[in-house]
């Protein structure tokens, strides 16, 4: 095996490793400014939002108690699917490419760990 083949193979491995890391960096590295640029989920038109009963204001939803958390304490900001630590509008992993309101809620709400 020549040195050229080995270094070519190493370069391909490096590129593939870099490509695999891109989606993770996109989620982790998204700033609140970038998140604010995302289109907002439209509860009236988005099929996922309709199916999950998403609303921008959790207080307007009927929120059943879930795993020991009263419905009144459930909102997007404390859900495990929210993708940014701050900002009024943030990405949610259930709505790729869109932002949900930090005070919103949907039927998939799950308490953020930690
Ligand atoms: S999954 Fe969580 S963060 Fe996403 S819309 Fe539903 S309640 Fe909000």
R_g over Cα of the chain: 19
Say if pTM beats, i.e. exceeds, 0.95.
Answer: no
- Taking CA atoms only, the protein residue closest to ligand 1 atom 6 is 106
The rounded Å distance from CA 55 to ligand 1 centre is 9
Number of structural domains found in the chain: 2
Same-domain check for residues 76 and 61? yes
Both 53 and 96 in one domain: the answer is yes
- pLDDT tens, 28-76? 456 666 777 899 999 999 999 999 999 999 999 999 999 999 999 999 9
Phi, psi at 56, each rounded to 5°: -75, -25
Among 41, 94, 101, 105, residue to substitute to test ligand 1 (most atoms within 8 Å of Cβ): 94
| Residue 51: domain span | 31-114
> Is 22 in the same domain as 35?
no
């Amino acid at each position: 095996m020549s040195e050229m083949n080995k270094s070519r193979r190493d370069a391909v491995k490096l590129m593939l490793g870099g490509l695999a890391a891109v989606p993770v960096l996109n989620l982790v590295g998204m700033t609140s400014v970038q998140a604010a640029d995302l289109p907002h989920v439209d509860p009236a038109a988005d099929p996922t939002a309709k199916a999950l009963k998403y609303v921008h204001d959790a207080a307007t939803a009927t929120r059943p108690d879930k795993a020991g958390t009263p419905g009144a304490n459930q909102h997007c900001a404390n859900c495990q699917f929210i993708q940014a630590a701050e900002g009024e509008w943030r990405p949610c992993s259930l709505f790729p490419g869109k932002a949900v309101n930090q005070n919103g809620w949907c039927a998939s709400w799950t308490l953020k760990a930690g």
